[in-house]
Homo-oligomer: A and B are copies of this chain.
Amino acid sequence: MKAAIMGYGTIGSGVARVLSENRDIIKAHALDDIELKYVLDVRDFPGDPINEKIVHDYKVIVDDPEVKLVVETMGGVEPAYTFVDAMLRAGKNVATSNKALVAAKGAEFIATAKENNVNFMFEASVGGGIPIIRVILKCVTGDEIESIYGIVNGTTNYMLSAMAEKDVSFDEVLKEAQSLGYAEKDPTADVEGFDAARKIAILTSLAAGRQVDFEDFPTEGITKIEKADIAFAKENGMKVKLIAAMDKSGDSYFVRVAPFLVSKESPLFAVDGVMNAILVRGNMLGDSMYYGSGAGSLPTASAVVGDLVEEARHVNKHVDFTWEPSKVKLLDPDEQSFRYYVRKGTECHITGMMKEHDFLSGEGKDCDHFIRLL
């Protein structure tokens, strides 16, 4: 079976490497050999053996009926959207790691895939190598999923872990993360929580079977976290974590991304550094957690290849699941109750359980900073 990769960056080149190094194992699972035929990229790679597979026009892939599996690892919505849409309509299965594309166009692509009797899979778009999408779609299927709390951004988790370990400020740790390659030059998407927001939007859409747009729920990053907050957490046996959270209430959902204070009792407490973990609560299963590398070339590529294996086993057979384009009902975040850590000057304390507007008009009024408790 022939495959193509669109976008030969960090993840795309990882996919090529996994396909090559694990070829025998992949063949055993896929029940067929998966052979890379094309790599689409704007660049050439002279001297690299991959160069003979490089094409610059996506239509070469569209027009080749031998190619049944296409990987999209370009990132961003365009031109990825145009290319993926064309591949699905040409009867090719697509696997992507592109969370921006999935968050924006997932429901549409699933419908297009169904119409064309192919598959659109996106395991690598959330949690890198952690198989959280398949857990939701194929494992926790006898349960009502009551909540999902995830540490789904490795950059911010690394930064928060480093702030706690080394007693350094946000600005210092950001510089360090950038020099180590854990944070991008423009770190906005990570530190403002937008990356995590897209991921919880995808997971909630899958759990609910309907669209959730990340613009429709509150997203707060970690830029306001100060040394005093981290110190308070530490003294009280807690940690500050950036959590992407979904809570189901009736047929509706509370969704938010925000820093939370996490206590030792939570399985998320021990998740440090660049690692990711997602805690899923089912009404029968109780708590389960899925932990691993949330990013990185090979772990993410491993998840993409897992999708290719599944697609190779279902060529010409759409595997049905529900992600309708109609929107899920999101609840007013003010109506969700939490306990709050609140800092005024050098005074810090933790409140009782209350709704946000009550907190903000009471104990939280004029505070310097507050953080919800998980």
Contact = CB atoms under 8 A, between A and B. Distances in A.
A293 B286 contact: yes
B285 A26 contact: no
Contact of A140 (B131, B144, B308): B131
A309 B134 contact: no
A150 interface: no
A305 B29 CA distance: 25
A25 interface: yes
A292 B298 contact: no
Interface in A286-329: 286-293, 296, 298-299, 301-306, 308-310, 320, 322
Nearest to A292: B288
A130 interface: yes
Interface in A1-38: 14, 17-18, 21-22, 25-26, 28-31
A252 interface: no
A188 interface: no
A310 B138 contact: yes
Interface residues on A, range: 35 or more
Given A28-B322, A31-B320, A284-B301, A138 B143 contact: no
The residue in A139, A140, A144 that gathers the most chain B C-beta atoms within 10 A of its C-beta is: A139
Given A22-B144, A134-B138, A289-B289, 12 more contacts: A14-B284, A123-B139, A129-B288, A134-B139, A142-B303, A267-B291, A284-B305, A285-B293, A285-B298, A285-B299, A285-B303, A290-B290
Contact of A299 (B28, B134, B286): B286
Given A267-B291, A285-B298, A292-B285, A306 B142 contact: yes
A29 B282 CA distance: 15
A142 B305 contact: yes
A237 to B, nearest CB: 13
Contact of A291 (B25, B142, B289, B293): B289
A300 to B, nearest CB: 9
A283 interface: yes
Interface in A222-245: none
9 contacts: A22-B283, A25-B144, A26-B141, A129-B286, A134-B138, A141-B310, A142-B303, A285-B299, A289-B291
Interface in A110-135: 123, 129-131, 134-135
Contacts of A303: 142, 285
